[in-house]
Structure 1
Amino acid sequence: MRLPIPFGRRSMTSLDILGIGNAIVDVLARAGDDFLARHGMAKGSMALIGTEDAERIYAAMGPGVESSGGSAANTCAAAAALGARVGYLGKVADDALGQVFRHDITAAGVTFPTAPLSGGAPTARCLILVSPDGQRTMNTFLGACVTFGEADIDPVAVAGAQVTYLEGYLFDPPAAQAAFREAARIAHAADRKVAITLSDPFCVERHRDAFRAFVKNEADILFANEAEICALYQTDDFDAAATIAQSEIGLAALTRSEKGSLILTATTAHEVAAVPTQVVDTTGAGDAYAAGFLAALTAGRELAECGRWASVAAAEAISHFGARPQADLKALVAK
């Protein structure tokens, strides 16, 4: 377990948060359970798909909304909306969807310096089907995302960011794992923090040993939901998984949907209530939670207040269609 590094007030010459993740254009549309069944989808899951499936599903989807997405990118956009100084690293292609991604994330107030991929795979896209009960089923074509590697790490940005936030979905390619380790090396050499989100039990199951080693030896802050943390530590008992996390990492924020969240340090535990809201679409709930937490943390707030900001941001995210904030997050957390 790494020793905690204290936070100070933000410097105007550096970033609060630098996100690194899969740069994906989200395509969201509503779909019933019958649509999911016809296309062999498990409701509420995330599946990686190839070019043919991406084209087939996209053609069958109803009217949708296209915007820059990806888990860490969503977190960055919401954190910027909360007033944090935010940057993002991720790979898109030099194509139309790549331009959509770059425009959207820049317009959200996030610096995006990564050069586009030229002559290779197209920009990634995630086809998200939202059921009437708000559950989202994701079909992801990774495209240019998988080319992200150590050469795409901006050492100046990492060394200047209070927190470098790593997306578990990007952990799959070996080149990206190497990039994560290089980012952690640079961050810690500059006395900065490294945060990682486990993203999905699917990711954890594929790379459990590598994830667990990274969480224990490289990360300072862990974000995970109940299913993800249990998958990491191979238990069905959330309390047992939380106890292990508390012993292995300096700071963990574990979410439990309507049960709220649990924020753990080596010596403390804070239970944070969920903010009641009407669930419309759960897409991006965890991303928004991390945004609220990190925006508050890098602004010097106490952990309980970080959890409150996180819960407010998550509630806003699930109250409407799409992952990006539609209400004034600053006003919501000020209430």
Structure 2
Amino acid sequence: MTAEARYDIVAIGNAIVDVISQASDEFLDEEQLVKGSMALIDADRAEALYRDMGPAREVSGGSGANTLAGASTLGCQCALIAQVADDQLGEVFAHDIRATGIDFDVPPLGKQPPTARCLIFVTQDAQRTMNTFLGASQFLPPAAVDAELIASGAILYLEGYLWDADEPKAAMALGIDIARENGRKVAFTLSDTFCVDRHRAEFRELIDGGKIDILFANEAEIMMLGETEDFDAAVAEASAKVETLVVTRSEKGAIAVRDGKTTSVAAEPVDQIVDTTGAGDLFAAGFLSGYVEKRSMEDCLTMGAVAAAEVISHFGARPEADLQELVKKRLG
């Protein structure tokens, strides 16, 4: 019998500080940046881009951490397993994540490699182009995975972004095994089309092996996973292998497929889209918050849409409004 969970969601993710700046399409072209993409960069490239970017603001980020921040705002008990360095940005990240009510107890590494940072360029059409230096986050060791912590979470949430380095990949694989041994749900987000392209075979192995219960993707990612331009075919293939498939479709809303039944919701209205950074992360936060409350698929999707709409209305990937109040107004 599954023991009662202490936490609603435990995540293994990147500990990243986002550096966000507005930029022109011309700047992206000059820097040879692919608009709307996420690229991994080294320390030298990170330093050069930081030097050339305009005025910026620093906000703690990381996909899984963003999702937990939203879920915590919605009333979930959350804990994060992630790696920072013993430096200023590491202190900023740890303070910010704990200030949102999330438990975070992984000891920092030394001064090198430094804490990860993501340089985000936001164009006038609200598209974000991300350039990520993984730094200390790519050295999250399996030893940081607390078996008791994983076992005490109703849902283990994993981000595909973290699959790029061997140590965190091993840490996530260990976390999956612990969660499944303890009857916990495992949720996984594909994160990015480039990420799917790099790791498609391994992601499909996880899915085909029945190790993922809840799979999050956007429209492009699910088709990349299925190696097809047929959206319906991609959804049908993936949904047959997981308990719940959730696919966001930007202005077309989102769908969830569970037990062969498809539920869809429209996108929530937004007065002005300012920055799409974190939209998928906050959608997952809303959906999982509804999921742990055993709400209907429609309610879960709506909560995700509400959270995503809030975060794209301002800069940064963390909610600024009271998500609980927004959900209450929307669902009663």
Q: TM-score, normalised by structure 2?
A: 0.96
How is 1:205-216 mapped onto 2 (pairs within 5 angstroms)? 205-216=197-208
2:303 alignment partner in structure 1:
309
Gaps of 5+ in 2: none
| Contact 2:9-2:155 within 8 A present in 1 as well | yes
Do the aligned residues in 1 keep the contact of 2:87 with 2:111 (CA within 8 Å)?
no
Tell me the residue number matched to 2:251: 258
2:186 alignment counterpart: 194
Structure 1 stretch displaced more, 73-82 or 57-66: 57-66
- Superposition deviation, residue 216 in structure 1: 2.7
Aligned to 2:128: 136
What are the within-5 Å matches in structure 2 for residues 1-335 of structure 1? 14-217=6-209, 218-277=211-270, 278-335=272-329
4+ residue segments displaced more than 6 Å? none
SS of residue in 2 equivalent to 1:162: strand
The farther-off stretch of 148-157 and 99-108 is 148-157
User: Aligned to 2:7, what secondary structure does the other structure show?
Assistant: coil
Structure 1: gaps (5+ residues): none
Query: Counterparts of 2:30 and 2:84 in 1: how far apart (Å)?
Result: 31
Q: Tell me if structure 2 keeps the 8 A contact 1:195–1:219.
A: yes
Q: 1:323 to 1:119 in 2, by over 3 A?
A: closer
Contact kept in structure 2, 1:197 and 1:223, CA below 8 Å: yes
SS at match of 1:207: helix
Instruction: Decide which moves more: 296-305 or 196-205.
Output: 296-305
Deviation per CA, 1:5-59: give whole Å up to 9, x if none.
Answer: 99x9xx6x60000111111010001111111111111111111111111111111
Kindly state the Cα deviation for residue 250 of structure 1 after the two structures are TM-superposed. Answer: 0.8
Shift of the alpha carbon at 1:267? Answer: 2.1
- Cα deviation, 1:185-231, whole Å, max 9, x if unaligned, reads 11111111000000001111111110111123211100000111111
Amino acid at match of 1:35: F
When the two structures are aligned, how many residues end up with a matched partner? 327
Q: Which amino acid in structure 2 is aligned with residue 201 of structure 1?
A: T
User: In the aligned structure 1, how far is the partner of 2:111 from the partner of 2:316?
Assistant: 31
Q: Is the 8 A contact 1:164 1:195 kept in 2?
A: yes
- Checking the alignment, whether the CA contact within 8 Å between 1:249 and 1:266 is kept in structure 2 is no
SS in structure 1 at match of 2:112: coil
Alpha-carbon shift at residue 255 of structure 1 (Å): 0.6
Deviation at 1:119, TM superposition (A): 4.5
Q: Aligned partners of 2:137, 2:22: CA distance in 1, in Å?
A: 25
**CA displacement, residues 123-180 of structure 1 (integer Å, 9 cap, x when unaligned):** 0000001001100001111111111121111111110001000010001112222222
TM-score, normalising length: structure 1: 0.95
> Distance in 2 between the 1:221 and 1:186 partners?
16
Q: Residues 13 and 82 of structure 2 are in contact (CA less than 8 Å); yes or no, is this contact kept in structure 1?
A: yes
Q: SS in structure 2 opposite 1:17? A: strand
Distance 1:216 1:108 in 2: 35
CA distance in 1 between counterparts of 2:232 and 2:141 reads 36
Q: Does the 8 Å CA contact 1:169/1:200 hold for their aligned counterparts?
A: yes
